[in-house]
């Protein structure tokens, strides 16, 4: 096995080959290695690249750890960060890694979807920025080309006024989400609802958003209808972690509660 | 390849040939078996070490990426004597089978280094990545609560 | 046994009743304690196991050549290479050492490999080509029952079978498959000697039974195999059966080199037995005043592919099917099925856990039907010393302080009834799912009973040796320190009996001492502890009588207050005593399942307080109060540790721990998806030790390891019922069982 430790993005991109396996916090890749599912031969370790740790305003470097985000991130993202794995995982794991792995259950992803974040990618042939919904293509499948490095996650200049994150799991810490959700609401009523663990990729419940965004002071029955719509829009499966029926139910309940928090 | 880094204050340069974890290198190459392997995926905390000042699971650190880093393992705490978190756990009866113990020691030492008087909630949240199967955590909580109360 | 502890030695520290610190504590805290995982030897090879990817298949062929062709591979062995008995098993040797013609469960070992390092061994294991003809797995235990695929059927009939009561409640209950999940995974090192024998150092709960099974399968003389107690990272039943032991010895003898193997977590989940999943049908009949008249139960435990201890677990489930209550008329039918599911066997509580969940639910249901307070209903029916166990009819001749337990539980202070408002203390925790207004609180009670030691006529004994040396008293035993604290308590017994302040426990191999029996069934403190007490007492009596002394202490032998022989002179004489201790004899059951089947019994009761988010079905166990019948607490802090740890395994079974098996395959053999409670899931626990003289254990001690796990799950389920009004007839309780029921 070869490993390189570039210190600049340019150095990194100049030496990328078809075989290169990027390594950031290691919290996803090393699980695969330890279980014998992957045996990378050419590893590029990214944690010495200063630029990736840079966090300026709404642009979060891909190497920023969940620990930092838990401390310094916008409310909805910080709340999500607090639930990523364990303290040990949050000290190592990065937002770029969460984005690159693109797990349907990625705890950090619903916030990015809710605020319409974009992912900045760079290769030796240039830089491009993809909105989240063009970046996430399927279960652990993204639009990143092999030679591209995730440089940053860019949030909009102005974030919605109210943000709330919630995650359902049967353990009080260190648990893969059965459902996770972010709801944001702006002063003008514009409401976004994004969910994880209920579809192949993080998704938005657009019908529910549309319905509730137009109502300035939702009534109880509006809230019930909102929850019903969320539950009908998600596309969960039954697996060893939960059932389709429960995930639908919990999606609606959780989205409604988070909306209530935004409206308080 | 040779990977050079510092463990418990000493320079080491083990030969590493695969994407092996730091945990395996500590245990198998560097004769530091105090860090334990119990899940291989960062879900139990038994392999906790401090890497460049941060508490991490050494099973999820690629050894080759430790190049130039500073690592503290359970063997490096207490400087030959016993560390206060070790003393507190011992006296509280917080050790049974002991397999999770080094991970708790490292995580707690890291917590107390940053915050000498953690609250009960802070103690629990800081240790939520360390699984203990024997004690039910009662004695562990009492140990660190007591240490937090007495540290001045 | 009377120990007249003299005034002179009374003030030494670390006697029975004290809570001395663990002698291995500092080593464990510093990372210096040596576990089986940490062993190494010169020229050591690493081993790996080839496992079946199918729950049921015929083995058409095995091609080991590709594995042998890999550089650094020293051996690849299959069933053909097992020189002795081809099978092993604790009760019936029905499990192949390596499957030769047919695999019967997912993960069953088919071949083993030894190579120069672990990575090579694992690559070689992957390179072995096994051709399978996949067969239909039998995975439904009810179908297995119909096809008579069973390890044991039990029938217990006691009393007038036509008795009937005024009120009838029926229920169906299920318990999921729990795993012991000790943190230390299976590991071992086998070292060949130069004469064709082997020394084995491996994770275990019972080195003598490992040794017997290695001897049988390797076709060696007993003296050629020595099994050594080794550092064990928890057990809880998972280490009673052989797994890598025979494999390691085969490879060591085949290669002539030391061989080490350490299971990965996913292998550990297939490499040891689990708690039996249960289906239970119950019918309780009572008079209007609340007196139980008849209990009928049908208990189906799925034993999986091989026998392990299914027979004994099933028997225990049946014997304790009624719980700690008297009832004049009982019928229990038990079935332990054979399927292609993962083999099940011993886990803390051993059959009593499953039925406790059911009988306690039934008692609550009956109380509700009769309009009687559930605690009052229990008081009306409790089993006490002198009365017969409802199933076997065996009169209880040990203290059974159930009234004290119930009274204590009711009297213990309840937590503040305000729902907490910090996220960490609410259902959902850091997931921020739940506000206090969405929480309902519930309270539930349960009591459970279990036998201590082995039953049904098994010759249950332990040998211990006590020496007096210039290093103090040395206790030698082949019992296993799995973390429970035997290393502390046996030294306490020796100090107390001998009157000396220095005592140390040494765990010695099978060639140096006779069996201590299994480190299970809550039995070591009583039985190896009993042997230690008897040996130490004999040693003291011998020394005193030799010198006509009346007192022994650190300074030596005293007579009438004068030191007559100094200790230095005594230790020069190399005194030692070896004692084999047996508990009171038991019998196998008669044709109706009755008889003096058990040697001793212990009880515990739990009161659980839970907060439930009904809409999302999330539960947080807030608090568990417990009172436990301990006979005498030899080390109260250690007992408390057993209680708190045992309760936590009960919490796990109640709300999160389950191996999900579909079509014979475990879907979650890892710590990402087999969820163990974290420190943020830990309830506050208040424990009360109820001491009462009368057990035959040393100083009246009873085993304490299992009772905490038996009724804690049932109490939590009762509390969830109380909070939600949902039936909760299955554990673990899943969110959908509350939210969508």
pLDDT tens digit string along C9-19? 667 899 999 99
pLDDT at C5: 46
CB contact under 8 A, B60 and A5: no
pLDDT in tens, A94-139: 999 999 999 999 999 999 999 999 999 999 999 999 999 999 999 9
Interface size A-B, in CB pairs within 8 Å, comes to 104
Give dist(CA C658, CA C648) in Å, integer.
14
Q: Is the pLDDT of residue A64 over 60?
A: yes
Chain B residue with Cα closest to A176 = B43
Cβ burial C512-528 (10 Å sphere, 16+ → b, else e): ebbbbbbbbbbbbbbbb
CB contact under 8 A, A30 and B45: no
Q: What's this model's pTM, rounded to 2 decimal places? A: 0.98
**Encoded tokens for B98:** 């002991």
Give dist(CA C339, CA C631) in Å, integer.
40
**Encoded tokens for C492:** 């306490």
Positions of chain C with pLDDT lower than 70, given as ranges: 1-10
Residue of A176, A177, A245 with shortest CB distance to C740? A245
Chain C residue with Cα closest to B37 = C184
Please count the CA atoms within 13 angstroms of the CA of C706 that sit on its side-chain side: 29
Residues in contact with C371: Cβ distance below 8 Å, sequence separation at least 6, in sequence order? none
- The pair phi, psi for residue B79, each rounded to 5°, is 45, 55
Is the peptide bond between C732 and the residue preceding it cis, with omega within 30 degrees of 0?
Answer: yes
pLDDT at B152: 54
Residue of B40, B64, B126 with shortest CB distance to A34? B40
In the sheet with C684-691, reading across from the earlier edge strand, the strands are C439-452, C600-613, C618-631, C684-691
Residues in contact with C210: Cβ distance below 8 Å, sequence separation at least 6, in sequence order? C200, C202, C204, C227, C242, C245
Residue of B100, B101, B135 with shortest CB distance to C644? B135
pLDDT at B151: 64
Residue C175 CA, chain-centre distance (Å), reads 17
Residues in contact with C741: Cβ distance below 8 Å, sequence separation at least 6, in sequence order? C726, C727
**What would the mean pLDDT of A172-185 be, rounded to a whole number?**
97
Strands C187-192 and C198-202: antiparallel
* SS3 state at C625: strand
Residues of B in contact with C482 (CB under 8 A): 97
Element housing C606 (H / E): strand C600-613
* Local confidence band at B78 (pLDDT 50, 70, 90 cut-offs): confident
**Encoded tokens for B85:** 């978190």
- Tracing tokens 């190049």 back to the chain, one arrives at B67
* ipTM field: 0.98
Give dist(CA C632, CA A258) in Å, integer.
53
- Tracing tokens 């990143």 back to the chain, one arrives at A144
pLDDT at C1: 40
Mutate which: C124, C176, C432, C612, vs A, most A CBs within 10 A: C432
CB contact under 8 A, A88 and B107: yes
Give dist(CA C97, CA C78) in Å, integer.
9
Give dist(CA C303, CA C334) in Å, integer.
12
C-beta of residue B1 within 8 angstroms of C-beta of residue B16: yes
pLDDT in tens, B14-34: 999 889 999 999 999 999 999
pLDDT at A210: 98
Give dist(CA C279, CA C320) in Å, integer.
15
- Percent pLDDT > 90 in chain A is 99
Task: Let me know how long chain A is.
Answer: 264
C-beta of residue C506 within 8 angstroms of C-beta of residue C475: yes
Chain B residue with Cα closest to A28 = B60
Give dist(CA A248, CA A103) in Å, integer.
19
CB contact under 8 A, B90 and C25: yes
Chain B residue with Cα closest to A88 = B56
Give dist(CA C648, CA C679) in Å, integer.
10
Let me know if A216 is exposed, middle or buried by CB neighbors in 10 A (0-12, 13-18, 19+).
Answer: exposed
Please count the CA atoms within 13 angstroms of the CA of C229 that sit on its side-chain side: 26
Strands C45-51 and B54-57: unpaired
Residues of B in contact with C184 (CB under 8 A): 36, 38, 97, 99
Q: How far is A117 from chain C (nearest CA, A)?
A: 22
CB contact under 8 A, C645 and B98: no
- A105–C contact, CB cutoff 8 A: no
**Encoded tokens for B84:** 């206060």
Q: Is the pLDDT of residue B79 over 80?
A: no
Q: How far is B77 from chain A (nearest CA, A)?
A: 18
Cα A29 to Cα A3, A135, B59, B61: the distances in Å are: 14, 20, 11, 9
* SS3 state at A197: coil
Residue of C126, C656, C679 with shortest CB distance to A170? C656
- Tracing tokens 């050894």 back to the chain, one arrives at B63
Give dist(CA C140, CA C137) in Å, integer.
9
Look over chain C and give the mean of its residue pLDDT values, rounded to a whole number: 97
Give dist(CA A9, CA A96) in Å, integer.
14
DSSP C237: T
Residue C171 CA, chain-centre distance (Å), reads 28
What is the 3-state composition of chain B as percent helix, strand, coil, each rounded to the nearest 5?
Answer: 45, 15, 45
pLDDT at C8: 61
Give dist(CA C588, CA C458) in Å, integer.
8
- Smallest CA-to-CA distance from C56 within C173, C135, C126 is with C135
pLDDT at C376: 98
CB contact under 8 A, C25 and B124: no
Q: How far is C713 from chain A (nearest CA, A)?
A: 16
Give dist(CA C128, CA A8) in Å, integer.
44
C-beta of residue C98 within 8 angstroms of C-beta of residue C78: yes
Give dist(CA B83, CA A164) in Å, integer.
41
- A26–B contact, CB cutoff 8 A: yes
pLDDT at C3: 45
Chain B residue with Cα closest to C671 = B43
Q: How far is C739 from chain A (nearest CA, A)?
A: 8
- C668–A contact, CB cutoff 8 A: yes
C-beta of residue A111 within 8 angstroms of C-beta of residue A70: no
β-strand partners of C134: C57
Residues of A in contact with B56 (CB under 8 A): 88, 91-92
Give dist(CA C427, CA C655) in Å, integer.
12
CB contact under 8 A, B90 and C482: no
Mutate which: B2, B15, B37, B42, vs A, most A CBs within 10 A: B42
Give dist(CA C633, CA C17) in Å, integer.
6
Cα B3 to Cα A26, B25, B30, C351: the distances in Å are: 17, 10, 12, 52
Residue of A36, A164, A253 with shortest CB distance to C616? A253
The DSSP-derived string for B69-99 is: -EEE-GGGGGGGS--HHHHHHHHHT--SS-S
Cα C667 to Cα B77, B80, C305, C658: the distances in Å are: 39, 45, 17, 10
């Amino acid at each position: 096995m070869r490993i390189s430790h570039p210190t600049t993005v340019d150095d990194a991109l100049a030496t990328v080959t078809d075989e290169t396996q990027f390594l950031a916090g290691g919290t996803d890749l090393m699980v695969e290695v330890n279980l014998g599912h992957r045996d990378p031969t050419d590893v590029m370790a990214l944690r010495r690249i200063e630029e990736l740790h840079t966090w300026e305003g709404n642009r979060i470097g891909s190497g920023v750890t969940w620990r930092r985000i838990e401390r310094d991130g916008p409310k909805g993202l910080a709340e999500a960060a607090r639930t990523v794995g364990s303290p040990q995982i949050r000290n190592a794991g990065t937002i770029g890694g969460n984005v690159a792995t693109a797990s349907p259950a990625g705890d950090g992803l619903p916030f990015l979807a809710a605020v319409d974040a974009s992912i900045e990618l760079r290769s030796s042939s240039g830089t491009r920025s993809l909105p989240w919904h063009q970046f996430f293509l399927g279960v652990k499948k993204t639009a990143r080309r092999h030679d591209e490095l995730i440089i940053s996650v860019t949030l909009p200049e102005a974030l919605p006024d109210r943000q709330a994150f919630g995650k359902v799991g049967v353990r009080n810490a260190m648990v893969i989400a059965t459902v996770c959700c972010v709801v944001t609401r702006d002063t003008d009523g514009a409401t976004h609802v994004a969910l994880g663990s209920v579809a192949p990729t993080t998704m938005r419940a657009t019908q529910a958003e549309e319905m509730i965004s137009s109502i300035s002071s939702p009534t109880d029955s509006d809230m019930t209808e909102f929850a019903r719509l969320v539950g009908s829009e998600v596309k969960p499966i039954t697996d060893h972690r939960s059932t389709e029926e429960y995930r639908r139910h919990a999606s609606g309940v959780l989205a409604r509660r988070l909306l209530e928090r935004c409206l308080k | 390849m040779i990977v050079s880094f510092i463990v418990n204050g000493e320079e080491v340069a083990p030969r590493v040939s695969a994407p092996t974890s730091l945990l395996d290198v500590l245990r198998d190459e560097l004769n530091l078996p105090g860090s334990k392997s119990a899940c291989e995926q960062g879900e139990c905390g038994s392999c906790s070490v401090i890497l460049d000042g941060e508490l991490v699971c050494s099973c999820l650190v690629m050894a080759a990426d430790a190049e130039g880093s500073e690592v503290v393992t359970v063997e490096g705490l207490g400087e030959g004597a016993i560390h206060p978190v070790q003393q507190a756990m011992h006296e509280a009866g917080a050790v049974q089978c002991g397999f999770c113990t080094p991970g708790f020691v490292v995580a707690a030492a890291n917590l107390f280094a940053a915050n000498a008087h953690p609250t009960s909630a802070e103690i629990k949240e800081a240790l939520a990545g360390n699984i203990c199967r024997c004690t039910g955590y009662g004695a562990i909580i009492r140990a660190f609560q007591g240490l937090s109360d007495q540290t001045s | 046994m009377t120990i007249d502890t003299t005034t002179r030695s009374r003030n030494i520290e670390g006697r029975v009743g004290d809570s001395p610190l663990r002698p291995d504590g500092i080593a464990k805290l510093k990372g210096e304690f040596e576990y089986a995982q940490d062993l190494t030897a010169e020229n050591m090879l690493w081993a790996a196991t080839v496992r079946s990817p199918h729950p049921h298949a015929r083995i058409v062929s095995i091609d080991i050549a590709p594995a042998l062709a890999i550089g650094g591979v020293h051996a690849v062995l299959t069933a053909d290479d097992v020189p002795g008995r081809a099978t092993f098993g604790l009760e019936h040797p029905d499990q192949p050492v390596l499957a030769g013609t047919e695999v019967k469960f997912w993960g069953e070992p088919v071949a083993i490999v030894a190579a120069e390092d672990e990575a090579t061994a694992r690559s070689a294991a992957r390179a072995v080509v096994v051709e399978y003809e996949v067969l239909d797995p039998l995975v439904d235990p009810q179908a297995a029952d119909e096809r008579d695929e069973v390890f044991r059927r039990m029938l217990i009939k006691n009393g007038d079978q036509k008795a009937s009561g005024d009120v009838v409640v029926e229920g169906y209950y299920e318990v999921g498959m729990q795993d012991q999940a000790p943190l230390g995974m299976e590991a071992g090192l086998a070292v060949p000697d130069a004469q064709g024998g082997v020394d084995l150092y491996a994770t275990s709960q019972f080195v003598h039974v490992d040794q017997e099974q290695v001897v049988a399968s390797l076709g060696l003389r007993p003296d050629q195999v020595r099994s050594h107690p080794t550092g064990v990272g928890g057990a809880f039943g998972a280490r009673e059966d052989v797994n890598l032991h025979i494999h390691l010895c085969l490879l060591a003898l085949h290669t002539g080199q030391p061989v080490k193997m350490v299971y990965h977590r996913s292998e550990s989940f297939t490499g040891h037995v689990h708690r039996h999943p249960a289906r239970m049908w119950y019918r309780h009949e009572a008079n209007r005043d609340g007196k139980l008249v008849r209990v009928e139960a049908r208990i189906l435990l799925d034993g999986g592919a091989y026998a392990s201890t299914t027979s004994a677990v099933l028997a225990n489930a049946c014997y304790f099917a009624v719980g700690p209550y008297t009832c004049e008329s009982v019928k229990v039918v038990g079935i332990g099925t054979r399927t292609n599911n993962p083999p099940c066997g011993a886990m803390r509580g051993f059959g009593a856990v499953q039925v406790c969940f059911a009988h306690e639910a039934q008692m609550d249901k009956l109380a509700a039907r009769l309009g009687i307070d559930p605690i009052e209903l229990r008081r009306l029916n409790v089993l006490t010393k002198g009365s017969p166990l409802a199933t076997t009819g065996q009169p209880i001749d040990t203290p059974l302080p159930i009234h004290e337990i119930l009274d204590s539980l009711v009297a213990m202070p309840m937590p503040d009834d305000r729902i907490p408002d910090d996220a960490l203390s609410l259902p959902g925790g850091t997931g921020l799912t739940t506000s206090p207004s969405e929480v309902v609180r519930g309270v539930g009670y349960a009591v459970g009973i279990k036998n201590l030691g082995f039953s049904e006529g098994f010759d249950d004994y332990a040998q211990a040796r006590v020496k007096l040396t210039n290093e103090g008293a040395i206790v030698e035993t082949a019992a296993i320190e799995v973390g429970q604290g035997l290393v502390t308590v046996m030294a306490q017994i020796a100090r107390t009996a001998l009157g000396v302040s220095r005592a140390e426990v040494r765990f010695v191999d099978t060639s140096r001492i006779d069996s201590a029996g299994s480190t299970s069934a809550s039995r070591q403190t009583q039985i190896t502890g009993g042997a230690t007490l008897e040996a130490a007492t004999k040693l003291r009596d011998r020394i005193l009588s030799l010198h006509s002394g009346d007192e022994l202490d650190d300074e030596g032998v005293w007579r009438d207050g004068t030191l007559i022989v100094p200790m230095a002179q005594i230790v020069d004489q190399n005194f030692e005593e070896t004692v084999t201790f047996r508990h009171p004899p038991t019998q196998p059951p008669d044709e109706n399942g009755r008889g003096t089947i058990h040697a001793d019994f212990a009880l515990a009761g739990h009161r659980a307080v839970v907060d439930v988010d009904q809409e999302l079905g999330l539960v947080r166990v807030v608090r568990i109060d417990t009172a436990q019948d301990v006979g005498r607490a030899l080390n109260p802090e250690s007992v408390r540790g057993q209680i708190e740890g045992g309760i936590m395994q009960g919490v796990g079974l109640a709300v999160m721990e389950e191996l999900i098996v579909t079509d014979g395959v475990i879907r979650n053999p890892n710590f990402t998806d087999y969820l163990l409670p974290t420190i943020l899931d830990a309830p506050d626990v208040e424990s009360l030790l109820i001491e009462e003289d009368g057990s035959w254990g040393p100083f009246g001690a009873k085993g304490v390891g299992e009772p905490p796990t038996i009724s804690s799950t049932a109490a939590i389920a009762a509390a969830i019922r109380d909070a939600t009004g949902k039936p909760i007839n299955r554990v673990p309780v899943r969110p959908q069982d509350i939210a969508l029921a």
